[in-house]
Amino acid sequence: MEFSSLSDSAVLAELGERIRRERLNQNRTQAELAADARVGLNVIKRLETGDGCTVSSLIRIARALGKIDALDTLFPEPGVSPLQLARLAGRRRKQASGGRGRRKGSGNG
Amino acid sequence: MEFSSLSDSAVLAELGERIRRERLNQNRTQAELAADARVGLNVIKRLETGDGCTVSSLIRIARALGKIDALDTLFPEPGVSPLQLARLAGRRRKQASGGRGRRKGSGNG
DNA sequence: CATAAACAGCCTTTTTATAGGCTGTAACTC
DNA sequence: GAGTTACAGCCTATAAAAAGGCTGTTTATG
């Protein structure tokens, strides 16, 4: 099963089901997980039934499930060259390069 | 750097920075990503500056970045025994077992 | 410096999430 | 069947996120 083949709402639902399975694997109730994650019981219920939640709540829930490091793999740090890192740490942040030579819509204006 | 050593808000901020780096690695602007993900520009800005968003928005953004399958690793399907799977597929869903023998607060009643 | 793009920060309105409670039902124990 | 637990679904009020626009600053180019 690949997420790329699912719709957005299907991904959300699948995520909720996996969280439920993980919770049940740990033999915990929704109320217990909600208390440990410091979120309302409603948040767990809605998440597990595919209604979604905020990323903040997801982080709390992942931590309560002992899966906070799994978030690390969500967007792993891409290969950033030391030079680019230096620029990132510099004045501001690198903007998407291209500038004038990369205008999209109003190219002939 | 491990997420387990970070606070919830720090995890959120780190996630935002990684998404920004991924976006910049793909040489795209916030406005381009917002359009591709079908979210408001504000959502990208807030996310990248550590203000968070909904999981629905995160899914859209991950898909627009070509990272939708990374969500797959967030909560990988835990090892579910065939027997348990049968119960899951059965009438309802397995509830956290324990029942009366697992009461927490009023255990001496 | 002038121009243009990229972005942060702030604002208003609409939509959604959150907390908490309450009801009905399924599952388990006796 | 009675009692208990776990959960879905619905409800109200509050908080936060979303969309869209506007301003000022930074970055890059000329």
Count of alpha carbons within 13 angstroms of residue B96, beta-carbon side: 17
Does A26 reside within a domain?
Answer: yes
Within-domain flag for B89: no
Q: How many domains does chain A have?
A: 1
Q: Which domain holds residue B56?
A: 3-73
Which CATH number goes with the domain that contains A56?
1.10.260.40
Domain for residue A78, yes or no? no
Q: What angle do CA B21, B24, B30 make, to 5 degrees?
A: 105
- Of B42 and A82, the one with more pLDDT: B42
Residue A41 lies in a domain: yes
* For chain B, percent of residues with pLDDT exceeding 70: 70
- Please tell me the distance from the alpha carbon of residue B61 to that of residue B18, in angstroms, as a whole number: 12
Question: Across chain A, where does the E strand assignment appear?
Answer: none
Tens of pLDDT along A21-74? Answer: 999 999 999 999 999 999 999 999 999 999 999 999 999 999 999 999 988 888
Short-list B6, B107, B12, B23, CA closest to B62:
B23
Q: Domain for residue A18, yes or no?
A: yes
The verdict on residue B37 lying in a domain is: yes
Calculate the angstrom distance between C1' of D26 and CA of B28. Answer: 18
Of all residues in chain A, the one with the smallest CA distance to B17 is A77
pLDDT along chain B (109 residues), means of 10: 88 94 93 96 96 96 94 73 41 42 29
Q: For residue B12, give the nucleotide whose C1' atom is nearest its CA.
A: D17
What is the structure's pLDDT at B63? Answer: 96
| A75 or A99, higher pLDDT | A75
Is residue A39 in some structural domain?
yes
A 36-65: CB within 7 Å of strand C: 38-43, 46-47, 51-54, 56-57
Residues in chain A: 109
User: For residue A75, what are the β-bridge partners?
Assistant: none
pLDDT at position A91 is 36
Q: Is residue A38 part of a domain?
A: yes
Is the Cβ–Cβ distance between A28 and B102 less than 8 Å?
no
**Chain-centroid distance, C-alpha A76:** 11
Element (H or E) spanning A63, and its range?
Answer: helix A55-64
The closest nt to B96, taking CA to C1', is: D6
Query: Which residue is nearest nucleotide C4, judged by alpha carbon to C1' distance?
Result: A100
Whether B60 and A19 lie within 8 Å, measured CB to CB: no
